[in-house]
Every structure is written in C-alpha cells, then in structure tokens.
C-alpha cells in the first residue's frame, strides 16, 4: 500500500470513530440549510442565460465542420440551459399557474439534458432534432403564460425577431 492510500485509510478510520463517538450525544448540530432566493428578473435569465446559450448553440452547430472544441462548448451550453431551468423553478408566478410553470421548467430541463447527451455523440442531425425539441419546450411555456416570444431554431437570416409584439 502506498503512503497516500495509508493516509486515506487512517482518515477514514478517524471519520468512522467520530461518527461512532458522536452518536447519542445530545441533539445533532443544526445542518446548514441554504435558502434559495431568486435575485434576477425572469426576463434577465431568458436573455442572458436561456437565449444567449441557445443562440450560442446554434452558432456552434452551424459550423462546418464542427470541430471538437465546438462540440464541447455546445454541450456546455446545453447544460447551462438545463441549469437555467433549475433557476426558473425558484420563480414561479405568484398568483396562479405554478404547477404549469414547474411542468414547463422541468420539460425544458429534460430537453436540455437530452440535447447535451446528443451533443456528446457529435451527431449533427440528432443535435438539430434536440434543438427543435428544446425550442418546443421554451415555446410551450411562453404560450401558456402568453409571452409573445417564439423560439425558432436556426432561423433564416431575414426571419422576424423572436418577440412578436
């Protein structure tokens, strides 16, 4: 056994000992429970995280050929979109529609995770299919909450802006 491994096993033994001896010694110390709070406006998350990464993904997937670094970047962008969905879950509408909000945010997260998995295989067609599935999940939430924003993946250069009004 190398020196390094011996240190690890010694410290594991120490942990086990601490766990054993702390058992039954009064109430456990209060666990740190971080309180998650929304800080930025939803609109800022849409612009700065969801849409920025969506656009970045499009740019990476329109490269020809797509080099390895662009695939890695694109996968990271999909994961950041998935993470944005987690942030959206901290910001449901106050009065009504909370269940729908959570459903849509969850579906956005699932689609973004699936997209990341597709990007890991470096298959362009699969990736583009994943982009349209993700855009559908964006638009379903926009439609439910009457947000006049239509996300169209890989728009033609002369396509109208995403916000319809």
Which residues, including other chains, have CB under 8 Å from residue 141's CB and lie 6 or more apart? 100, 101, 104, 105, 108, 147
Query: Which one of residues 74, 104, 115, 131 is an interface residue with ligand HEC (CB under 6 A)?
Result: 104
| Nearest to 104, CA basis, from 129, 60, 127, 135 | 135
Which residues, including other chains, have CB under 8 Å from residue 9's CB and lie 6 or more apart? 1
Q: Check whether the bond before 65 is cis (ω within 30° of 0).
A: yes
Nearer to ligand HEC, 72 or 92 (CB): 92
Residue 119 interacts with ligand HEC (CB under 6 A)? no
Minimum distance, C-beta of residue 105 to ligand HEC, in the bound complex (Å): 4
Query: Which one of residues 61, 115, 127, 141 is an interface residue with ligand HEC (CB under 6 A)?
Result: 141
* Residue 162: Cβ within 10 Å count: 18
Question: Using CB under 6 A as the criterion, what x/- string covers residues 20-59 for binding ligand HEC?
Answer: ----------------------xx--xx--xx--x-----
Nearer to ligand HEC, 127 or 138 (CB): 138
Give the dihedral of Cα atoms 67, 73, 79, 84; nearest 10 deg. Answer: -140
Nearer to ligand HEC, 6 or 154 (CB): 154
Minimum distance, C-beta of residue 42 to ligand HEC, in the bound complex (Å): 5
Token reading at 26: 């009064």
The single residue listed with the structure tokens 């406006």 is: 41
Binding residues (CB under 6 A) for ligand HEC: these are: 42-43, 46-47, 50-51, 54, 81, 88, 101, 104-105, 108, 134, 137-138, 141-142, 145, 147, 149, 151, 162-163
């Amino acid at each position: 056994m190398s020196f390094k491994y011996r240190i690890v096993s010694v410290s594991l033994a120490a942990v086990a000992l601490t766990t054993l001896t702390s058992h039954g010694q009064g109430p456990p110390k209060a666990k740190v429970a971080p309180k998650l709070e929304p800080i930025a406006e939803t609109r800022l998350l849409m612009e700065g995280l969801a849409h920025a990464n969506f656009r970045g993904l499009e740019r990476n997937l329109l490269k020809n050929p797509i080099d390895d670094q662009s695939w890695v970047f694109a996968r990271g962008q999909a994961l950041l979109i998935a993470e944005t969905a987690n942030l959206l879950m901290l910001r449901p509408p106050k009065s009504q529609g909370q269940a729908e909000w959570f459903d849509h945010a969850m579906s956005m997260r699932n689609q973004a995770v699936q997209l990341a998995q597709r990007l890991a295989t470096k298959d362009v067609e699969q990736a583009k299919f994943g982009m349209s599935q993700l855009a559908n999940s964006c638009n379903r939430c926009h439609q439910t909450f009457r947000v006049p924003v239509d996300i169209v993946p890989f728009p033609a250069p002369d396509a109208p802006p995403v916000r319809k009004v």
